[in-house]
Amino acid sequence: MSAVGWVKSQFSTLPYPDEDCSGRSVIITGANSGLGLEAARHFVRLNAAKVILACRSIERGEAAKQEIESSTPRRHVLEVWQLDLGSFDSVKEFAARAAKLDRLDVLLNSASILVSEWARLEGHETMMTVNVISTMLLTVLLLPTLRRTGTRFNVTPHVTIVSSGAAFLAFFPEKEADHVLDRLKENKNYAERYNTTKLLQLIMMLKLAEASDASGKGHVIVNALDPGLCRTQLFRRWSFPLSWIIWFAFSVLGRDPEMGSRTLVAAALAGEETHGRWMSDCTLQVWPKVMEGKQGERLADKIWGELAEVLEGIEPGVMENV
């Protein structure tokens, strides 16, 4: 998309979600603010039976719950569960609790972070841990629950990952390394690490869709989306003066969080045509060039194999869920 086309798309009016979600249960990570909060508000409005706000801070999650409930007459729909994607133990505890749900129709992986200072969590760079590894771990742990829902209620569950058009900006020199995820532990090329995590989210979504189909254990629609540039708190950890520059750009070009959240709901309720694909402006999009052709397939296979190895190290046997 050209720069002019992108600017026009930022000011486009996206379809307002109107699908009846009666009876459905939804988990939304990072749901205490921004896009996740607005997506939760939509699902409550669309008659979902249960909407779980998965948040690192219970206090902020409860504040989000109260804010949503103040805008709707519906009660006893929202629940706040603690989930810290910076902790593998927290992810496993959350998944074990969610496995006891009678029904889980949608896992909406909305939580991501963008930080400006290099650090590690759980032995990996912070954004890699949160945006990629923990997101993948949670998804794989919950696949049996999603599939059980599909069989029991004769529905097609969804796993949706909130990625970004930043995936197209990833320089990603680490792709040439013998072991990519090990190389990404290093404090190099850090300025573009967020972009790289967004690219890796698309790769893991594509491979998860392929692998889950190949296993024959039950169909789950797996897709991803780019919400566009939205006025959220994503850059809240950045310092002056860059924070002011970003604030100005968001003020001029950024979408309102409610408008951006429509892309999340559209993907989470989308049909089979989106399986193993990704969307922007609520329509299907092409892949970043690094994912195209035979070379792109080899890279995706390599990344998938390394992610599987990491996840098995965190929770032995977890990849059998796929």
Contact yes or no for 165/280 (Cβ under 8 A): yes
CA gap 120, 221 in Å, rounded: 32
Please name the amino acid found at residue 244: W
What is the set of active-site residues?
Answer: 163, 194, 198
